[in-house]
Each structure stands twice: as C-alpha cells, then as structure tokens.
Chain A
Amino acid sequence: MNTYKYIEDYIDDDLNRDELKSFLDEVKDNKTMAAELNLRMEINSVIHDKGFSELKDILEKQKISDRQNNSPINIRREVMKTWHMAAASFALVVVAGGLWYILSNKPYTTEKLVGKYYKPAQPIGQVRGQASGNETLAKAFSLYKQNDYNNALNYFASLSNRITSKFYSGICYIELKKYDDAIESFKAVVDDNDNLYVEQADWYLGLIYLMNNQKKAAIDQFNKISAGDSYYAGQAKEIVKYIR
C-alpha cells in the first residue's frame, strides 16, 4: 500500500484492526514514517483550529494598521502640524491639488476594475458518475467550457433545484450580459445559505452591480463582504477603495 495513503487512512480511522496493529508496530520503529505522520497530523490540526487562523488575521490587520499609522507620510504630517503651520497650509493646497488631479484621472475605470477582478468560475471536476443528473450537468459544463452559454443554460435549467446549477447559470447570465437574471440566480444561492457557493455568489453579485453601473449597490455589497471573514474580504476592500 502507498505509505502516504496508509498514513492518511490511519488518521481518518479507515484501517481495520489488523491493519491498525501493523501500522502502529511499523510507526514505532520507522522514524521517517513517524515524522510523516506527525507532519500530516499537525497540518490537520491547523486546518481544524479556526481560532488560530482567525487570531492570525486579526493580528495581521493590527500590523498593517500600525504600519500605515507610522508611515513616513503620517509622521511628516504630525511634524508639520506642530512646527510649520503656514508651510503646511501651502503644502495642503499643493497636496489637495495633486489629489484632485489623481482622483480626476483614476487609474481604474469600472471596466478596468471588472477586468481586473472578474473571472468566470471554473467548472467543478467531479461530474463523473453515470446517473442521468450527472450526465446533464456534465453536458452543461462541457458547453460552458466552450463558452456556449445559451445552450449551457438550457441544461442548467433542467437541474434548477440544484445550487451548483443556479451558481453556474449566474455566470452564464453574466457572460450573456443578462444582469437581472444573473442577480436572481446568485441571490437564490445566497438565500439558501447552506452551500459552498455563498461567498462566491456574494462576490459575483458585487461585480454584477459594478458591471451594471449600480455604484451604490456595488459599494454596499463589497462593504458587506469586506466586513466579514470571506475569502474575498481583502479584494472587496480594495475595490471599494478604487470606486470611491
């Protein structure tokens, strides 16, 4: 048996009694195997311990905020406030002028932002069974991969109760620029709230608002994402900064 699989089966409690006994005997005498087992168990422990990850994220935010507060620009601003008020006023005019110039020449238009952040979701690769539902989904994904979104939608529609289908229908609608239909599909995914596509659907909703020039709705949506612990929180924060 493959050693790594043997170790994983042990960790997952998938060995029968004889296999378990033989595994424990082997690991006692085999230092390499023991080290491999240790590594894999520690990795599992990290993934399982959400607290460690959450705490690290909070500390990272503190670090970033501290760096921003102590940036040379901020320190200089303090010095100027105290010692050179008159010069500061002049500098402020210059800086304000510069900022006005920069803001009126934003490097990111809506189109550029969408281009930077929007990527259609990749089809999931698990459609391998022979059940009729899976065959339909496989056909839908095949069309989706060929950018044949209209026909893909027909197949997704026949599986309309499935969250996966709703999610990918949403992407098809984006590609077809049918934004209202896309919003409806993603909202169904978000409202279900018990599936793995919720964070992605929330993210795509923000991007659709952006594509559809619904600036306020987009800002609200990205603010909602950045306030949570979504995978997309950092990117959502960046977008809000650019569109404001």
Chain B
Amino acid sequence: MREFNTTDISDGIKERNSDVLDFIYKKYFYQIKAFVKKNSGSDEDAQDVYQDAILVIYQKLTKENLKIDCSFNTYLYSVCRLIWLKKLEKRKKELNFFADSENFINIDGELDYWYELNERYQLYQEHFKRLSFNCQKILELFLAKIPLKEIARILGLKSELYVKKRKHICKEKLVENIKKDPKYNSLRVVDNQFVSETIKS
C-alpha cells in the first residue's frame, strides 16, 4: 500500500482523492473502531463517527485552511474521540469510564461549530437528494450562477421568468421538507454565523 504523509493526506481529502481516502480508511479506521467499541459503541457507530470526522476535517481544511501540525493519526483520533463523546452525551450515556486507546490533542473548542454544521449539512444534503432530478439540476445551475438565459437553453425552456419560478418552487419545497424533518429542531442554529458575516460585509 502506498504511504502518504500528513500534507498529502490533507491535500487528498480536499481533492477527494480516492487513493488517499482508501489509505486513511485502511490504515486508521481499525483504531477508531477499537476505541468506539471499547466505549459502548458498535461497528456501525464507529463507521458513522469515522465518516463524520472526515467530513468535519474536510470542512476545516477547505473553509478554515486548517494546518495539521501533529501526525494525521493523532488528529483523526482526536476528532473521532470528540465526536463520539458528543454522541454519547446525546444518548445520555455514563462517561465516567471513558477509555482512550491512543494519544490525542485537545481540540474541544475548535470543533463544536464544524461538528454541528456538518450534522446540518448532512440533513440538507439528504433532502436535496430526495428532490426530483429536474429540481436538483435547476438549483445547482442557479447556484453555479449560470445565467438564466443559459439555464433556459440547457433545460429546453423558453422563458427565463419560468426558470426563476421553478427555482423558487424547488427551493421552497426543499426548505419545507427540511423543516418537517424531526431531526431539524435538534440541529437548529444558535449562532447565525452566515448572517453575522453577511451583515458585517
């Protein structure tokens, strides 16, 4: 198996490189699994924790320009450890006998926002994928800032006005479905970071 250093791994996650992602999984997942199982979790919990951790690291790498200054193994373990602690807290499990199997770094404060954002993103994406094919495409094209005229041409529509109308219908349907999901209330935002940033700018 080809080896990758921490920089290669960071770049590989950002670029969704399958070789790097396979490497991380094969090399480090068993440690995460052992840790989760040692602390009241199942194989499935370990897989969920691992997946959440990689998505959180991806968000931090792409949006916060994260620089990992310890070994990737330690960083991944630390992120997984925190995520599993949060999941256990939600399940109101006894944490007195929490057992660590690897070295970890303290990243408590810097992870909360990204972990919660990741949970919301997964919910939004789940509902987006349930929209009709045409709704997904029209929203993607619109957000990619493709001119309305071009969207109309690609979709075979004559009226740009109708593109806007369809986009509005699709977006409202998506928002409505997300709000109806029971998970939505538990994931609602306390600090409206997007809004704060927008208003500041």
Interface size class, chain A: 35 or more
Interface residues of A, dominant DSSP: helix
Given contacts A39-B189, A126-B157, contact A58 B162 (CB under 8 A): no
Option from A42, A47, A194 in Cβ contact (under 8 Å) with B139: A47
Interface residue? B16 (CB, 8 A): yes
| B195 and A41 contacting across the interface, CB-CB below 8 Å | yes
Option from B137, B143, B174 in Cβ contact (under 8 Å) with A48: B143
Given contacts A38-B192, A70-B43, contact A43 B199 (CB under 8 A): no
Q: How far is it, in angstroms, between the C-alpha of A99 and the C-alpha of B161 when the chains are bound? A: 57
| B125 and A46 contacting across the interface, CB-CB below 8 Å | yes
| B21 and A131 contacting across the interface, CB-CB below 8 Å | no
Interface residue? B97 (CB, 8 A): no
Chain B residues, CB < 8 A from A35: 188-189, 192
Minimal beta-carbon separation of A132 from chain B (angstroms): 11
Given contacts A53-B125, A59-B51, A59-B55, contact A163 B156 (CB under 8 A): yes
Interface residue? A177 (CB, 8 A): no
Minimal beta-carbon separation of B190 from chain A (angstroms): 9
Task: Please count how many residues in chain B sit with their CB below 8 Å of the partner chain's CB atoms.
Answer: 54
Interface residue? B25 (CB, 8 A): yes
Question: Which parts of B177-200 form the interface with A (CB within 8 Å)?
Answer: 178, 188-189, 192-195, 198-199
Contact with A along B25-54 (1 / 0, CB 8 A): 100010000000000000100010011001
Given contacts A42-B121, A43-B174, contact A124 B199 (CB under 8 A): no
Interface residue? B159 (CB, 8 A): yes
| A51 and B158 contacting across the interface, CB-CB below 8 Å | no
Minimal beta-carbon separation of B193 from chain A (angstroms): 8
| B178 and A43 contacting across the interface, CB-CB below 8 Å | yes
Q: How far is it, in angstroms, between the C-alpha of A134 and the C-alpha of B193 when the chains are bound? A: 45
A sample of 28 inter-chain contacts (CB < 8 A) reads A5-B168, A24-B199, A27-B195, A34-B195, A37-B198, A38-B194, A39-B175, A39-B178, A40-B171, A42-B120, A43-B128, A48-B144, A51-B62, A56-B51, A56-B55, A58-B21, A59-B21, A62-B21, A66-B29, A126-B158, A126-B162, A128-B162, A129-B158, A134-B158, A194-B154, A195-B154, A196-B134, A196-B155
Q: Which residues of A contact B (CB under 8 A)?
A: 4-5, 8, 24, 27-28, 34-35, 37-48, 51-56, 58-60, 62-63, 66-67, 70, 124, 126, 128-129, 131, 133-134, 162-164, 194-196, 199-200, 231
6 A-B pairs closest in CB distance: A164-B156, A38-B192, A41-B194, A46-B124, A48-B143, A59-B51
